[in-house]
Structure 1
Amino acid sequence: MTLRDRKRARTRQALVDAAIELFERDGYEQTTVADIAAAAEIGTRTFFSYFASKEELLFPESDLRVQATVDAIAARAPEDGPAQVLLRALRTVGADSTDLTGRLAALRLRLIRTVPAVRGRALQIQFDAQRQIARHLAAAYPDRLDEISAAALTGAFVGAITSALQVLLDDSDNPDDPAAVQAAIEKATDVALAPWDE
């Protein structure tokens, strides 16, 4: 990673951290892009070279999770079934990221429930991710999956993750325990993908 890449990553993270603080303190609707940029000590115009909107700040790693899944499909071993590849990708991403656990995840879920714009963005991200993953699965396993079965498998996978997170983040006793969150997500996906696991 170059010095410029590291600087961009630090600025991006500063924007996410500032947004979390402001959303929690002042409320999502009351916080503006200008407020977030100022808190991160950058200009408002610069903000838009990192994120398209303030909704995007709540989903900073969604593209990375999809890419990790696509990469796992591409790097599959000949004996790997489609469900095995998805489960391996989930475990790899879970080990490398805290995006599905802790403060940001809890805030994101709360805002998805209460702010229509955030809910709409979450659904669009989920829809786009499912389509992209399903396309890659169908192409990787043409003898085992057609477009409909690849979409069904991907829907079960993504739905299991989403449902497990909703239950866990509602549980005020343990929302910040990454190991507990990862274990619960893996359990949910194991159950959901059992019919495809070979």
Structure 2
Amino acid sequence: MAGIRERKKQRTRRALIEAALRLFAEKGYEETTLAEIAAEADVSTRTFFSYFASKEDVIFHDMESRMERTAALVRSRAPDEPLPDLLTRIARDALAHAAGDENYAVEEMPLRIRLMMTVPALQARALHLLYTSQLRLARALHESYRGRLSPVEAAAAVGAFAGAAKLAVMASVERGESMDQALDAALVATEITLRGLRSLG
């Protein structure tokens, strides 16, 4: 029975995300109300608040789960796995997850990126999440490679690696390319960066 309830919750959550993004695309982010999102998903406004605290949370709905997935990869690394190999594995896993997870919905990413780049409140939230997620990953890498990777080296590796991937995706989307092309660009960007990071061992 718990499984059925969980699947129903996931369907409702997905319906809210799809409804919100549909309305953001049609009406604009600022012009869309929470009540309209709830009505579009055929639920009450109270139900919306059971899943999300705000419209911003809908845009960033997968950030925490993606970070947890990355942290799990760091924790599960082999003791002798070099840092560039681990980062390559993280990049490939993230891209494969983005392309294959039905809850991630790659087709929604261009809209989400455009909103993050143009809506001031979302720009601020995106920057905050970018810095906090990178700091979390840097701390996790430093802990995982304790005695071999200093905090500064871990921070530099994460900044270069994540920054290259994110900027490549944003530049690709800005050029009007497909998400498949954007994900390919991210992979190329990380491979370029990782060649430089091999100096860290």
Superposed, 1:1-198 pairs within 5 Å as 2-98=3-99, 99=104, 101-102=106-107, 104-172=108-176, 174-176=177-179, 178=180, 180-197=181-198, 198=201
Structure 1 residue runs of 5 or longer lacking an equivalent are none
Assess if the C-alpha contact under 8 Å between 1:165 and 1:185 holds in 2: yes
The TM-score normalised by the length of structure 1 is 0.91
1:83-127 superposed Cα distances (whole Å, 9 cap, x missing partner): 22122122112212244843x211122112221111111111111
- Larger CA deviation: 21-30 vs 81-90: 81-90
Q: Distance in 1 between matches of 2:109 and 2:16?
A: 16
Instruction: State the TM-score, normalized to the length of structure 2.
Output: 0.89
Q: Which string of whole-angstrom CA distances, capped at 9 and with x for unpartnered residues, describes residues 19-62 of structure 1?
A: 11100111110001111111111111221221121011112211
> CA offset at residue 142 of structure 1?
1.1
Identity %: 39
Whether the 8 Å CA contact 2:169–2:183 is kept in 1: the answer is no
Deviation at 1:136, TM superposition (A): 0.6
Aligned counterparts of 1:136 and 1:37: Cα–Cα separation in 2: 38
CA separation of 1:69 and 1:7: change in aligned 2, threshold 3 A: same
Between the aligned partners of 2:58 and 2:21, the Cα distance in structure 1 is 9
Contact conserved, 1:164 with 1:185, CA < 8 A, in 2?
Answer: yes
Match of 1:23, SS? helix
Q: Alignment length, in residue pairs?
A: 194
Instruction: Evaluate the alpha carbon distance shift between residue 49 and residue 38 of structure 1 in structure 2; reply closer, same or farther with a 3 A threshold.
Output: same
Letter in 2 for 1:159: G
- Greater helix share, 1 or 2? 2
Q: Which runs of 5+ in 2 are unaligned?
A: none
